[in-house]
């Protein structure tokens, strides 16, 4: 009787369980105010060009996306005004600048598409969340339009009504 060879599974940079389950995503920082301040029209996943100490700080969760935004300059996308705290265990002379501009990794087609949309009146690129995907730091960018005050009030009222309905259903 002839035995068949057993195929070897190849998984690089992750455990067998992660390989079998697919992409492993761990959210490190979220910009909750963005969904309240802006109406999100589309989202894009981008990579980031980072220094080693920035990655260490991000993994520790020391990131603030609240005031961040993205711009397109010279055919390249840049993430601006995102505060990544300096790494505490590193010599200050080797540490990074907390508010430096960071290059976003997008395909040329996506950048061209975004240039056309951002030039429209009132649209901007806002970071929504920062996460690890298969060990790489990614940022979710939202193409957004600013909400007016009455839109924000309407959203708050809808959220409050929904909460009251859920409370009433729970008491029944």
Q: What is the pLDDT of residues 28-47, one digit of tens each?
A: 888 888 888 888 899 999 99
Residue 26 has pLDDT above 90, yes or no: no
Q: Tens of pLDDT along 137-151?
A: 999 999 988 878 887
Q: Are 136 and 32 in contact (CB under 8 A)?
A: no
User: Residue 19 pLDDT > 80, yes or no?
Assistant: no
Query: How far is residue 13's CA from residue 103's CA, in Å, rounded to a whole number?
Result: 24
**Token pair belonging to 146:** 């600013």
**pLDDT value of residue 117:** 87
pLDDT over 90, % of the chain: 23
Classified as helix, coil or strand, 145 is strand
Please name the helix (run of DSSP H) or strand (run of DSSP E) that holds residue 21, with its range, or none.
Answer: helix 16-21
Task: Look at residue 14 in the predicted model and tell me its pLDDT.
Answer: 54
The structural domains of the chain, ordered by start, are 23-167 (2.40.280.10)
């Amino acid at each position: 009787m002839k035995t068949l060879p057993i195929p070897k599974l190849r998984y690089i940079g992750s455990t067998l369980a992660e390989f079998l389950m697919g992409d492993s995503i761990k959210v490190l920082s979220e910009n909750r105010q963005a969904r309240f301040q802006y109406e999100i029209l589309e989202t894009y996943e981008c990579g980031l060009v980072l220094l080693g100490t920035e990655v260490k700080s991000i993994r520790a969760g020391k990131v603030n996306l609240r005031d961040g935004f993205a711009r397109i300059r010279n055919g390249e996308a840049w993430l601006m005004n995102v505060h990544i705290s300096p790494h505490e265990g590193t010599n200050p002379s080797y540490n990074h600048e907390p508010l430096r501009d960071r290059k976003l990794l997008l395909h040329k087609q996506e950048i061209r598409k975004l240039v056309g949309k951002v030039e429209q009146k009132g649209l901007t690129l806002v970071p929504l969340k920062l996460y690890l995907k298969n060990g790489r730091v990614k940022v979710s960018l939202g193409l957004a339009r600013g909400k007016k005050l009455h839109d924000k009030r309407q959203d708050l009222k809808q959220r409050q009504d929904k909460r009251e309905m859920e409370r009433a259903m729970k008491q029944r």
